[in-house]
Amino acid sequence: MKDNRENRRRFIKGAALMAGAALESMRLSSAQSTRKGEKEIPIPGPSYVVPPYGERSRFVTSVRQGEFAPLQDFSGIITPSALHYTVNHGSPVPDIDPQQHRLMIHGLVDRPLIFTVDEVKRFPSVSRVHFLQCAGSSYLPLGDRERAVTVQQTHGKTSCSEWTGVPLAILLKEAGVKPSGTWLVAEGAEWKKHSISIPMEKAMDDALVVYAQNGEPIRREQGFPLRLLTPGWEGVRNVKYLRRIKVVDQPYMTKWESSVYTNLRPDGKARWFQFELEPNSVITFPSGGQRLPGAGFFEISGLAWSGAGAVRRVEVSTDGGRTWNDAKLQEPVLSKAHTRFRFDWNWDGRQAVLLSRCTDEWGAVQPTKAQVEKLWGVTPDYWLSTTNRIQHFNACQPWKVTPEGSVDNAIWES
């Protein structure tokens, strides 16, 4: 035990020394490149203008709608960072200088630690593709037909990125979690200080402190400069602008896990601490608000995901759920990540209702809306009130293709 502590102390001290050495060598190399008397060789520039930071074509106009990502416009499984959905609880997105930012780990630990962002980055890192989804992503439009037309409006609070960061377990081992430390509270740096409890099992399993998204520093809306990632768990537990982790011995019942993001049941009791997101999927083409030009061949395509692991199977129905057929899964099929599925369809021009259904590697199957209602003991008219909500709503989404080719949200008829 004592040896371990010695080693850790040496590591931290070594870290400071190495940072100093790196700075020194940078100074040396810049001095070398401007040595007096040396002939400067100009680098020939291209004859056209290279934008210093790339832009998309002016003909591409896909945008977020409020907090919602335009799922209908994406290909593959990676959400373009600039179009990732975003939820900020009442605070403006903070403008954080990464040089000033600190991450503190304290509470039930042997050594409280404060890291700069550069110090976090010095630990061994991993890159992983994971989806994020707001626990409340689909409840709002159910009672709100006007705003539940497109797949952006019904399912746009999920996105998927390649995240790079340090396993939280490594940072916690540096601090040395005491045996009584069974939970932690993670806190963000924005003025409302979003905070939420995480059980130690998750922290030590696959939670990450990430600093990069799709190859560049995390976008401001996604939590620049540091974010907690709890793969497969409801979005609210992925604390952005992460500045503090307090190791504690019980959940702290913060606002976001004791009132908002709990499920009030019709019997007056509420379900708390639903961490993991259940199997889910949605067809993104054709989807609500789009128009098919006429009968013929179409490739149905969509996204499937599960907070428990990898997607094993996606089935598609083109007849309102009477018959189902396997869709093709596009590689790579990654754990706790969006998975693209494709399904060849020859539309005969008659009314059709399209649905997708996800099964994950544990055999859990995405329910129909009727099955969700049965689970929660509610009737279909429950959804007519905009104040009634069921978190983690993951019913199979039906899109009705009319003979005219328009595509409508048919969730209320299912």
Ligand X SMILES: Nc1nc2c(c(=O)[nH]1)N[C@H]1C(S)=C(S)[C@@H](COP(=O)(O)O)O[C@H]1N2
- Interface residues with ligand X (CB under 6 A) are 84-89, 132, 134, 188, 190, 194, 221-222, 235-236, 238-241
Question: Quick one: which of 303, 263, 290 has its CA closest to 407?
Answer: 290
* Residue of the chain from 113, 120, 134, 239 that contacts Mo ion (CB under 5 A): 134
Q: Which is nearer to ligand X, 88 or 368 (CB)?
A: 88
* Residue of the chain from 108, 236, 303, 407 that contacts Mo ion (CB under 5 A): 236
Q: Which is nearer to ligand X, 183 or 347 (CB)?
A: 183
Phi, psi of 362, rounded to the nearest 5 degrees: -95, 0
Smallest distance from ligand X to CB 330, Å:
23
* Stretch of 127-135, 285-293, 294-302, 404-412 lying at the interface with Mo ion (CB under 5 A): 127-135
Query: Up-side HSE of residue 87: CA atoms within 13 Å toward CB?
Result: 19
Q: Which does 202 bind (CB under 5 to 8 A by kind): ligand X, Mo ion, none?
A: none
Task: Characterize the bridge pairing of strands 242-248 and 227-229.
Answer: unpaired
* Stretch of 132-140, 200-208, 345-353, 368-376 lying at the interface with Mo ion (CB under 5 A): 132-140
Q: Which does 156 bind (CB under 5 to 8 A by kind): ligand X, Mo ion, none?
A: none
Q: Are 78 and 215 in contact (CB under 8 A)?
A: no
Each as own residue / partner, the long-range contacts of residues 25-33 (CB below 8 Å, 24 or more positions apart, any chain) are none
- Ramachandran class of 289: left when φ > 0, alpha when ψ lies in -120 to 50, beta otherwise: left
Instruction: Write the DSSP string, 19-78.
Output: HHHHHHHHHHHHHHHT-TTPPP-PPPPPSS---SS----TT-----BTTB--GGG--SSP
Q: Which does 347 bind (CB under 5 to 8 A by kind): ligand X, Mo ion, none?
A: none
Q: Which does 190 bind (CB under 5 to 8 A by kind): ligand X, Mo ion, none?
A: ligand X
Smallest distance from ligand X to CB 289, Å:
22
- For residues 10 and 4, give the distance between their C-alpha atoms in angstroms, rounded to a whole number: 10
- Residue 284 structure tokens: 């993104």
Q: Which is nearer to Mo ion, 263 or 290 (CB)?
A: 263
* Residue of the chain from 70, 235, 251, 279 that contacts Mo ion (CB under 5 A): 235
- For residues 13 and 333, give the distance between their C-alpha atoms in angstroms, rounded to a whole number: 41
Q: Which does 89 bind (CB under 5 to 8 A by kind): ligand X, Mo ion, none?
A: ligand X
- For residues 180 and 248, give the distance between their C-alpha atoms in angstroms, rounded to a whole number: 8
Q: Which is nearer to Mo ion, 159 or 359 (CB)?
A: 159
Question: Per CB under 5 A, which of residues 36..95 are in contact with Mo ion?
Answer: 87
Smallest distance from Mo ion to CB 256, Å:
8
Smallest distance from Mo ion to CB 104, Å:
24
Q: Which is nearer to ligand X, 68 or 347 (CB)?
A: 68
* Stretch of 30-38, 56-64, 234-242, 364-372 lying at the interface with Mo ion (CB under 5 A): 234-242
Q: Judged by CB under 5 A, how many residues of this single chain contact Mo ion?
A: 4
Q: Which does 368 bind (CB under 5 to 8 A by kind): ligand X, Mo ion, none?
A: none
Give the number of residues written for the chain: 414
Percentages of the chain per state (helix, strand, coil), in multiples of 5? 25, 30, 45
User: Which helix (H) or strand (E) segment is 246 a member of?
Assistant: strand 242-248
Where along the sequence are the contacts to Mo ion (CB under 5 A)?
87, 134, 235-236
